Structure 1
């Protein structure tokens, strides 16, 4: 019996050397990128500065972790680490390390990416929503939320609302919209921010400039040849909107 207490103390000390990792399950969005975009107006510049990843969806029970960068969806396997962090392994011997820091999920800096921080969204997406939906919903609300009045352009004097689900009210010729976050649409618009406007099954890309409570929507002119990937640049102003 005299050996029991030392053994228990040793076990307690050894047990204290490692910590059980906090459960990272849930949806996490890159709120810093949203805040920067809403404040500065420059969408792509803000996403590049605080990205590239925009959302994580994690399920500890199934060991699955998905991320979205606005263009690609990554799917990895989640594994707890002895230091209390989480490792996500992706196809091709690529991995990321995640840490739960209070109310934030930290994607630790790696050789290719800087540290990024994520928080739970205020509004959860509908069940079955694809990765990236929560980020888009929060971005659309912060960036284009509110009521806009058409100051110049077709429908002058009318009221426009960009809804968080991508539906659009009051802008002539469009009932849906999508902001360009990354990928081909970003490559095509170069340094400009672009938005997709659609009516029914017909849609087109437009260039926009977001400056405080003003939103300028311009034609997207294409300088590329017919057999080349489009290369858009700002053309004639179509609408000038002001937020109430």
Structure 2
């Protein structure tokens, strides 16, 4: 017998109509936030960045691939990782399917990571993805857009991530006596690296526009600011038990069915 409240059809419909009003308010607020994002001022990108891609060396403007808009997902795959971050991989599973639709609506979508291109392309093949992936290895791009950090920044606590200094779990975890969250330990090991090396790369997304040959930076979001692009979460939020999480339960899609690891207490990217 279920312990959850059960009602008559009439009472269920009344509850659903009340929820519908709240959902409509949320939708209107979301629309207003989208308009506020689009009204953000643009920041001209004057610095020259070079990327390695499957088609050869590319500039930031080249990543637009003839379109006027570009969205970059900053995929956590540092030079010393052996495989990509599982959280970023779960996000990319969803991005891969929508890339063609964005491309046909004047928006280019590209992953960018610091690992050498050969590593990225090998992992992309393993995952079965087709969307573009550019390596910023040797470039300042990830550092300038606040998704990669140096050992010196880790040591002196000068990491600014998600517009806050030292506010993320991966920052505090590296400053004794704070204990490293188990989720970070697990995920670092799963990427074939140690915690400090793993934590020098972070997730995020950035948007750009190309106008009259000039690239402008329009928007960036980090940590839970990219929560909305996790394709599985809008569905879980509508499932009877919701997200129902006690730690990291997701894996790379080709790892389900393998022995489970010890339950974690939080997401590495949350």
Q: TM-score, normalised by structure 2?
A: 0.24
Structure with a larger share of its residues in helix? 2
Task: Work out which structure has the larger RCO, using CA pairs closer than 8 Å and 6 or more positions apart in sequence.
Answer: 2
Instruction: Compare CA radii of gyration and give the structure with the larger one.
Output: 1
Q: TM-score, normalised by structure 1?
A: 0.25
